[in-house]
């Protein structure tokens, strides 16, 4: 049998059949069709994208996260603007809390968090009338793993404009920040609460005369046993009456004078025209508040005095001491009194035998003025409406009531 020779037909550009040949099909100079071009372009684009992702995946992920951060900040700004438009004030978590130029990280639990390479206290946002209504939930930065650290901050800018921003971004040269159109409502003493950034505890406030006071005893710090002495160790320490934390929650903490002052210097005002210290002692009070001077407490006494003998009952001096004074001023300052001061009879921790006594009978608050081994205090009691003024041993544990700068 002879061999069979395989042949292929070759066509010219005119489509006519030519002589048999052993070569493959040859399309000659015929161009691509439109469909073929589209397919080729799509394949090239797909391959280019795949190569880019393989070469630099971190950049693509980082840019995508920055885009999400911007959307989160836009949601925060929009929610706050809507809330203030409907309610006329900020949510309680923000109201009366953020100071000019201050930056705080938003969170759902108290903590110290990193932002822009620095450590900041965080602002706990837990308002039920804000979350779930104007904002479904606090957004979490796409690069964060902790559900309590949002990775976003709020700050107060020039003109009281509220701004939100991202703590960490992929494009480090461009900070992601957006200002809200609404302004922070000015703090109104008595109408707004004080929110302590350190533990997010909230305190009522009251305006008495020209002064703005906390309307609750301060409760900040770590409880130690009444048998121990508070020390300068970088930790705010407190006593709770009968070593029971429940009493701190209802009555506030008890502090030795040095601890209350955070080991700062004694100070007092100059008199009626200037009752506050030239440089008020912040002590353990929140930022923007301070331990009252002896003369600021005198100004408080006079502000609630209507007896007609206020000047002699409550003089601006340091020689009138060791006496119960006035008529019904103590009643006005106690819980349920007309002043709104709501001074709780929290008792004290004794400086010699370290026992607790006087709860429900005596309420004592420190001033920033020392007198040798003692410091000036004010005392009210359950049995009458008088006020006691006298220096007392600094190692005693008394309540702290802060006044606004």
Q: What is the pLDDT of residues 249-258, one digit of tens each?
A: 999 999 999 9
Q: What is the pLDDT of residues 150-192, one digit of tens each?
A: 888 888 766 667 788 888 887 754 456 655 545 555 678 998 8
Which tokens belong to 88? 């006329």
What are the residues whose beta carbons fall under 8 Å from the beta carbon of 41, sequence distance 6 or more? none
Q: What is the pLDDT of residues 321-375, one digit of tens each?
A: 999 999 999 999 999 999 999 999 999 999 999 999 999 999 999 999 999 999 9
| Closest among 329, 149, 361 to 251, alpha carbons compared | 361
Whole-number pLDDT of residue 39: 76
Question: Which is it for strands 237-238 and 222-223: parallel, antiparallel or unpaired?
Answer: parallel
- CA–chain centroid gap for 209, Å, is 29
> What are the angstrom distances between the C-alpha of 288 and each of 49, 187, 400?
55, 12, 15
Q: Can you give the C-alpha Rg of the chain in angstroms? A: 36
- How much is the average pLDDT of 302-308? 96
Secondary element (H or E) of residue 121: strand 118-124
For the question of whether the overall pTM of this predicted structure is more than 0.85, the answer is no
**Rounded Cα distance, 32 and 355, in Å:** 98
| Closest among 188, 220, 178 to 78, alpha carbons compared | 178
Which of the listed ranges 88-97, 135-144, 249-258 does the model predict with the highest average pLDDT?
249-258
Residues in the chain: 405
Q: What is the pLDDT of residues 22-80, one digit of tens each?
A: 343 344 455 667 777 787 787 877 766 665 555 567 777 888 888 888 888 888 888 88
Which tokens belong to 104? 């705080």
Contact (Cβ atoms closer than 8 angstroms) between residue 84 and residue 76: no
């Amino acid at each position: 049998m002879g061999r069979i020779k395989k042949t292929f037909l070759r066509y010219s550009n005119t489509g006519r059949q030519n002589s048999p040949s052993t070569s493959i099909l040859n399309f000659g100079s015929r161009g691509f069709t439109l469909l073929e071009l589209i397919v080729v372009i799509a394949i090239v684009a797909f391959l280019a994208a795949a190569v880019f992702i393989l070469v630099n995946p971190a950049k693509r992920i980082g840019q995508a996260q920055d885009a999400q951060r911007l959307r989160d900040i836009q949601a925060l700004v929009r929610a706050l603007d809507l809330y203030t438009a409907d309610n006329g004030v900020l949510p309680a978590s923000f109201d009366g809390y953020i100071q000019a130029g201050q930056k705080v990280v938003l969170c759902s639990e108290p903590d110290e968090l990193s932002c822009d390479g620095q450590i900041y206290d965080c602002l706990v946002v837990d308002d039920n009338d804000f979350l779930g209504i104007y904002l479904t939930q606090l957004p979490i930065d796409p690069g964060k793993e902790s559900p309590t650290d949002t990775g976003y901050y709020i700050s107060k800018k020039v003109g009281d404009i509220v701004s939100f921003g991202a703590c960490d971004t992929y494009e480090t040269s461009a900070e992601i920040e957006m200002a809200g159109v609404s302004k922070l409502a000015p703090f109104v003493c008595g109408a707004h609460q004080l929110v302590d950034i350190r533990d997010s505890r909230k305190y009522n406030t009251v305006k008495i005369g020209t002064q703005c006071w906390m309307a609750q005893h301060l409760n900040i710090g770590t409880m130690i046993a009444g048998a121990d002495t508070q020390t300068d160790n970088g930790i705010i320490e407190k006593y709770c009456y009968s070593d029971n934390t429940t009493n701190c929650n209802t009555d506030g903490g008890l502090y030795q004078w040095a601890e209350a002052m955070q080991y700062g210097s004694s100070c007092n005002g100059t008199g009626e025209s200037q009752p506050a210290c030239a440089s008020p002692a912040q002590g353990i009070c929140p930022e923007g508040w301070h331990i009252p001077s002896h003369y600021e407490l005198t100004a408080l006494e006079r502000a609630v005095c209507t007896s007609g003998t206020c000047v002699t009952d409550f003089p601006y001096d340091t020689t009138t001491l060791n006496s119960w004074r006035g008529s019904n001023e103590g009643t006005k300052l106690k819980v349920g009194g007309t002043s709104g001061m709501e001074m709780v009879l929290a008792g004290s921790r004794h400086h010699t035998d370290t026992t607790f006594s006087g709860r429900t009978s005596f309420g004592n608050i420190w001033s920033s003025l020392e007198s040798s081994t003692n410091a000036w205090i004010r005392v009210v009691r359950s049995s009458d409406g008088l006020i006691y003024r006298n220096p007392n041993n600094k190692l005693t544990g008394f309540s702290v009531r802060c006044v606004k700068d």
